Structure 1
Amino acid sequence: MTDVNTAFAAEKADQIQSVRDEASALQGRIDRGELRPLGGDRYEVTSGWDRGEVFTISRDTEGRIAGILANHGLDTTADGKVALYAAAPAWHGLGQIIPGGTTDIDEVLRRSGLDFQVITVPALYDWQGEIREHTDQHHTVRTDTGAALGAVGARYEPIQNRAGFEFLQELVGSSEVTWESAGVLRGGKRVFISIRLPETVTVDADGIKDSVIPYVAVMNDHSGRAKFQCVVTPWRPVCANTERFAVRDAFTSWSVRHTAKATGQIKEARRTLNMSLRYYEVFAQEETALARTKLALDEFHRVIGDLWPLEEDATKQKKTIHAKRLDTLTEVYATETKRVGPTAYAAERAITGYLDHHTNRRVPQTMTEELTRAAAALEGADDDMKTRAHRRLMLLNTR
């Protein structure tokens, strides 16, 4: 018979050792410079391909690591809340929700964690005990926390977060814009703002009547690695697909470098691109044309072969990947054809759905697969392939 007290003591000893092992492994990563403690069991990854991501360790009553709560690349506000504002529950329930949204920029700035300025400071270095300045380089810094965001050139001029809101107001010609979402990524190095346009886009109004919700989003970068960018982002709620691709005579995006003249250039964007109206007008026309173009399964497979060609001397592994991709695309296409018929439109929905929900993504340790896919869609990781697919399918409409 096993002594209960002995068993309990052994179990307790195992638990204590487990806590020690986990703490030792965590401390090892800190000592190697792979993690930076932020306080309160929050850590920032400082190396590898998930560098800059932040996560929080949750513990059970015994002090053991119970799980890792990813901040999903989102920053946190001063009171510890996730830095995200949304008009409806988004990003899996994270963020500060205002049902129905708000037109108040200051309210969104506060709730989303975007209420900080960015300045540039000299790049200094220590040379044999003397502090010197690198005159051609500066650092971007948050004025609220003093955190460095990136290294930039001397001509770099920060575009402030508020400017992104004002840009979208000017783009749609209204100061009464209802803000859809806004948030801070990677400690403030990247921020985003989006609005939903009032008119829902209807594809093939006399036929399938498929709905697409039109959004316009701004992505601003404070690290010096990317431009201030505005993108149109059609969203199909039925399958949560981001239908973002180039169409004829219209732009999907516009960007400008961070310079002293940037503000003036931003003000020209609406007149130059007219993206919020012209894009969706052409989008609906071309999508309706695809919805009225019949497409047999073997022709769909030819389209896939053109988009993802397989070399004659491909390795066994590549052939396996190719076959698996074709099987998945065929399944998604079959689902789409049941809803909208065997058409080029169904084919495009299948390809878009595959890219958004099925293609392989390298998932950072601090993010879930689903959130990695959401970030990829936001940043347009597959826009080029979606554009290629759209153009290839539009060729079928001209036969």
Structure 2
Amino acid sequence: MSANVESMFYVGRTAPWHGLGVSVEEALDSKKAIKMAGLDWTVRQEEIMTADFKDISGFKANVRSDNGSILGVVSDRYKVVQNEKAFSFTDSLIGNGVTYETAGSLNDGKRIWLLAKLPEKYTLADEAVEPFLVFSNSHDGTGAIKVAMTPVRVVCQNTLNLALDNAKRIWSTIHMGDMKNKLEDARNTLLMADRYMMALQDRSENLSLIKLTDKKVIQNIEELIKMPDNPTELQKNNVTRMRSDITHRYFEAPDLKVLPKNAWRFINAISDFATHAEPLRKTSNYTENLFAKTIDGHPLIDRAVQMVAA
């Protein structure tokens, strides 16, 4: 075990989106939040052509209005949903106690997002969890408009965005067809959020009933973080480091070592690793990738749930 593993715990713990966006807690509506976050620009569509000025049919370029940058080349059936329009439906949720937290963009505006905190408080396995909704829109043709439920464990800021068979965590729609009616449907996301949190409560209780021996925990970690066949020395060191990291979190993290040794504690150790562990190589877009997994889900956490619940 490396000597500095323990330093990973509770040193300036923040949620995955902190440091990415702009605080918009003072915003009274989405239009104000978008302006505070510097997202008050529009997208226009322009014809595209070859180098010898021949029109390319069937495609258009999405161009950012404030700086003229090309956000993406899309089908001519693609419907632009402006930032203000994409998030305007959240304003109807504010009356129910929802408050805006942060807003920002990824990849120079190709993907923008707005995060809201829900007023309800939930308890999962006797621990406080705060529910958030992330609203995301893309302008480069690679993604949909999404609303994602993102529960956060208060004590350590771990995300618990588990995929559940009996409750939706993500609502999404592509940029085609009748966008007005599609966005109207998004107003039901509060109902989706409540159903998801209730299902997550049930899942946490069920996982708490699954006892795990220390030996089983180690076996599960080794199964999750597999050693490649005929590994290089670098691969062997990397796998060993990740396994040691998760093991240390399960057995030594201050908030986890007080919990019973069960599947729910194991899932929280995996979530802790997925949310806060330093990557083997910290690329320039590491934070953006981590936030994207906050929206879309983390496959490692889902695999861990499937493993212990099997």
Of the three residues 275, 290, 306, the one matched with 1:391 is 306
Indicate conservation of the 8 Å contact 2:161/2:294, yes or no. no
Distance in 1 of aligned mates of 2:98 and 2:232: 53
* Cα distance, 1:287–1:160 mapped onto 2, change above 3 Å: same
Q: CA deviation at 1:174?
A: 4.5
2:261 aligns with 342
Indicate conservation of the 8 Å contact 1:250/1:273, yes or no. no
2:5 aligns with none
The yes-or-no answer on 1:375 pairing with 2:291 is yes
Distance in 1 of aligned mates of 2:148 and 2:270: 21
* Cα distance, 1:344–1:95 mapped onto 2, change above 3 Å: closer
The yes-or-no answer on 1:137 pairing with 2:59 is yes
Q: CA deviation at 1:103?
A: 2.5
Q: CA RMSD in A?
A: 3.0
Matches within 5 A, 1:169-188: 169=91, 172=93, 174=95, 177-188=98-109
**Residues 171-194 of structure 1: per-residue CA shift (max 9 Å, x gap):** x58576421211122221110011
Q: Which has the higher contact order (CA 8 A, sep 6+)?
A: 2
Q: CA deviation at 1:92?
A: 5.9
Segments of structure 2 that go 5 or more residues without pairing to the other structure are 1-13
Matches within 5 A, 1:224-239: 224-239=141-156
Paired residues in the alignment total 295
2:274 aligns with 355
Indicate conservation of the 8 Å contact 2:225/2:242, yes or no. no
Matches within 5 A, 1:197-208: 197-204=118-125
SS at match of 1:338: coil
Q: CA deviation at 1:324?
A: 2.4
2:128 aligns with 211
Which amino acid letter does the alignment assign opposite residue 371 of structure 1?
T
Structure of larger gyration radius = 1
* Cα distance, 1:186–1:316 mapped onto 2, change above 3 Å: closer
Indicate conservation of the 8 Å contact 2:73/2:141, yes or no. yes
Indicate conservation of the 8 Å contact 1:333/1:347, yes or no. yes
**Residues 325-347 of structure 1: per-residue CA shift (max 9 Å, x gap):** 22211110012442322221111
2:173 aligns with 256
* Cα distance, 1:186–1:322 mapped onto 2, change above 3 Å: closer
* Cα distance, 1:133–1:174 mapped onto 2, change above 3 Å: farther
Indicate conservation of the 8 Å contact 1:140/1:223, yes or no. yes
2:43 aligns with 118
Indicate conservation of the 8 Å contact 1:251/1:273, yes or no. no
Identity of aligned residues (%): 26
**Residues 205-258 of structure 1: per-residue CA shift (max 9 Å, x gap):** xxxx21111111111110112111221111123222121120131112122111
2:8 aligns with none
Distance in 1 of aligned mates of 2:16 and 2:150: 16
Of the three residues 220, 242, 245, the one matched with 1:303 is 220
1:55 aligns with none
Matches within 5 A, 1:1-399: 97=23, 100-127=25-52, 131-169=53-91, 172=93, 174=95, 177-204=98-125, 209-269=126-186, 274-310=191-227, 313-336=230-253, 337-358=256-277, 360=279, 362-365=281-284, 371=287, 374-380=290-296, 383-395=298-310
- What TM-score results when the alignment is normalised by the length of structure 2? 0.83
Distance in 2 of aligned mates of 1:241 and 1:213: 10
Distance in 1 of aligned mates of 2:240 and 2:135: 38
Q: CA deviation at 1:91?
A: 6.1
Which amino acid letter does the alignment assign opposite residue 287 of structure 2?
L
Segments of structure 1 that go 5 or more residues without pairing to the other structure are 1-87
**Residues 67-91 of structure 1: per-residue CA shift (max 9 Å, x gap):** xxxxxxxxxxxxxxxxxxxxx9996
Distance in 1 of aligned mates of 2:77 and 2:248: 52
* Cα distance, 1:123–1:166 mapped onto 2, change above 3 Å: same
SS at match of 1:121: strand
